[in-house]
Amino acid sequence: MKSQVLFSIILVSLTITSFAQTQGEMNFTAAKTFQAADKELNQVFQTVLKEHSNDTIFISKIKTAQNLWIKLRDANLDAIFIPGRRYGSVEPLCRYGYLEEFTKERIEFLKTWIDGIDKREACKGTRKTKSEPELQIHK
């Protein structure tokens, strides 16, 4: 389902932007968009490490998980676009689109250590609980 949504987004993006950009320009823009998401991922990851800096076991585990996630991300991309095969001039746009999608999903996952999760969640583990907004009482 997610791949259908991504494909639709890419297709619409190609249709809309093809009037204004060459394929090379679209590929370049997609690369920049992914790089921005990757930069955000690194910032979020550093924040997680900083907020849990006193828990050396957690730090070790989250670093291992992040390294494995990068390998999984790359392996997933290689399964979609087998290295050495050609998929046309749109391939870089599609590759960067998938990389951006995978990265944004990872960002949201990592943010649960920063923002917390719902207090009703029984399986929060090392993640904190979201603080509830204070009620505003008007007199």
What pLDDT score does 53 carry? 96
pLDDT at residue 26 is higher than 70: yes
- Which one has a higher pLDDT value, 86 or 132? 86
Domain positions in the chain are: 23-113
pTM above 0.85? no
Q: What's the average model confidence in pLDDT over 51-72?
A: 98
Output the CA–CA distances (angstroms, integers) from residue 95 to 8, 31, 42, 75, in the order listed.
14, 9, 20, 12
Mean pLDDT of 124-131: 89
Tell me the mean pLDDT in the region 48-64: 97
Burial class of residue 68 in the structure, from the number of CB atoms within 10 Å of its CB (0-12 exposed, 13-18 middle, 19+ buried): exposed
Q: Does domain 23-113 have CATH number 1.20.1270.180?
A: yes
Task: Give the pLDDT confidence score for residue 130 in this predicted structure.
Answer: 87
